[in-house]
Amino acid sequence: MSEQKQKYLFLYLRTGGGHLAPARSVAKYITEQHGETIEPVLVDGLAEAKPFARYVIEDGYRLLQAKAKWYYEFLYATNKFPPIGYFNVAAANFYIKPYIRKRIMEEKPAKIVIFHFFLIAPVYQALKELGLSIPVVTAITDPFTAHPLWFQNKRQQFIVFSERLKQHCLKRGIPESSVNVFPFIIDEKFTVSLSAEMITEVRTRFGFDPKKKLVLIIGGGDGIPHGKSILNNILSAPLSVQVAIVCGKNKELHAEALELKKQFPELSVFGFVDFVYELLNASDIVITKCGASTIMEILMMMKVPVIIDYLWEQELGNMEFVRDNQLGIFERNISKLPIIISRLCTDEPYYTSFVHNIEAQHLRNGTGSVGDFIVSSAGTTT
């Protein structure tokens, strides 16, 4: 029976969690809804690349964001200059295409879904070399401000996550029939918040005081920039709150936070966790940077985000969406965090104004609708 299933290749790179997470969510949905006839296959485009290539593309992305944000933003900007951008596409293609070609030959997919712009050229070139005509759909994982390299092949079917990005696509000469707008993809569990009773149970389980405001500091899988400074400013202020920080894979931040916990027992410290859903439900205020998945998860849980940083230009639209719609607060000056937290905790009408604005957005999880579209779409063939 399994031999008769159609295979869908879901191609991603591990440059941050924003590419794998949506691929995994949609693949899970399709398996649950169409598992008898369709088998999604998740493929890391760099799975068999040389260690050097993996280091430059994957670890380089993380290290620059954490240690040299200005240089990451410089590279992002220079890659918008076509000769530089296409040179880097060609370089990535050299390491990625052989494996993509091999997996297409092995899996013989009925459809291919791309979740990273470095995979666009390898897919289309591999299909051309193999003489195959397989429908391809590209999901632009940046919801509001997308890098020009997403549009290196305008003859694609695009999945986008905002009307703002759709209009950007149209200005670039992409036909409206090729641009499909859906709500942002997040894990299905974020569709519904926990009940008040379950939130109390979660708080108790993690050692939080159910009656005291909880400030959660979280920035994604690699932790949050300036984490130690954020903690020092909040913990040293006369605030009647409890604080939790998720350090992700940032071992240096984790060690610093554990050292601070000796002085401030109200601090809870977590490393890389698989219970972000529970922590967001338990929180009242979330201090974060501006990764799309994290921001959308916070808003879906009706929590108030305080954004302390974002990557230009990649995350600019995420910050503007929150700031301009008054869904949360953007403040780069970390020394102002205690004042912001104090007002959010003591001025109930002020806090609830943000919650009401979040509710007014009628945010939905796009996993199901994107999954159904991929199944029904003809995609774009070579």
- In this predicted structure, the answer to whether residue 321 has a pLDDT above a threshold of 70 is yes
Nearest-CA neighbor of 218 among 263, 189, 191, 249?
A: 249
64-89 confidence digits (pLDDT tens): 555 655 545 555 566 666 666 666 77
Q: Residue 17 phi/psi, 5° resolution?
A: -85, -5
pLDDT, residue 209, reads: 92
The side-by-side arrangement of strands in the sheet containing 38-44 is 38-44, 6-12, 111-114, 136-139, 157-160, 179-181
Read off the pLDDT band of 379 (50, 70, 90). Answer: low
Which amino acid, 300?
M
User: For residues 299 and 358, is the Cβ–Cβ distance under 8 A?
Assistant: yes
Topology at the third CATH level for domain 2-185+366-376: Rossmann fold (3.40.50)
189-232 confidence digits (pLDDT tens): 998 999 999 999 999 999 999 989 999 999 877 788 889 999 99
* Structural domain spans, the chain: 2-185+366-376, 189-360
User: For residues 299 and 191, is the Cβ–Cβ distance under 8 A?
Assistant: no
Which amino acid, 39?
E
DSSP 8-state code for residue 380: B
241-262 confidence digits (pLDDT tens): 999 999 988 899 999 999 999 9
Equal CATH topology for 2-185+366-376 and 189-360: yes
User: For residues 7 and 41, is the Cβ–Cβ distance under 8 A?
Assistant: yes
CATH classification code of 189-360: 3.40.50.2000
The pTM assigned to this predicted structure is 0.86
- In this predicted structure, the answer to whether residue 61 has a pLDDT above a threshold of 60 is no
User: For residues 224 and 289, is the Cβ–Cβ distance under 8 A?
Assistant: yes
For the segment 96-119, the average pLDDT, to the nearest whole number, is 95
- In this predicted structure, the answer to whether residue 237 has a pLDDT above a threshold of 90 is yes
pLDDT, residue 290, reads: 85
